Amino acid sequence: MTPESVMTIGRQALELTLLVSAPLLLTALAVGLLISVFQAATQINESTLSFIPKIVAILVMLVLAGPWMITIMVDHMRRLFENLPFMIG
C-alpha cells in the first residue's frame, strides 16, 4: 500500500463519518435551538428541559435515517473488502 492509498482510505472514512452522523447532529442542533428559544421566551431556566425532546427527536431521526445510514456504511465496507486484494498486492 502506498501512502496515497492510505490517505485516500482515511479521507473516505472521515467523509463517511461526517455524512452518516450529520442527520443526527443537525437534528439535535435544531431541537436544542428551538428549546433554547422557548426557554428564553418563557424565562424557564431549567437545564434538564432539553434532554427529553432531544432524545426523542434523535430516536425518530434514527428510525427514519437508520436504513440509509446502514446502507451507506455496508456499501463502504463492501468496497473496502472487495479492493483488499488489490491494495495488498
- Cβ–Cβ < 8 Å for 61, 27: yes
Q: What is the mean pLDDT of residues 9-26?
A: 95
Assigned C-alpha cell, 39: 426557554
Residue 51 located in a structural domain: yes
Residue 35 located in a structural domain: yes
Which pLDDT value is given to residue 49?
85
- Amino acid letter, 6: V
- Amino acid letter, 61: M
Q: Which domain holds residue 62?
A: 17-88
Which pLDDT value is given to residue 35?
93
Residue 76 located in a structural domain: yes
Which pLDDT value is given to residue 48?
82
Residue 43 located in a structural domain: yes
Classified as helix, coil or strand, 47 is helix
**Cα separation, 74 vs 80, whole angstroms:** 10
Residue 34 located in a structural domain: yes
Residue 11 located in a structural domain: no
Which pLDDT value is given to residue 72?
96
- The number of domains in the chain is 1
Q: What is the pLDDT of residues 29-45, one digit of tens each?
A: 999 999 999 999 998 88
Residue 9 located in a structural domain: no
Residue 50 located in a structural domain: yes
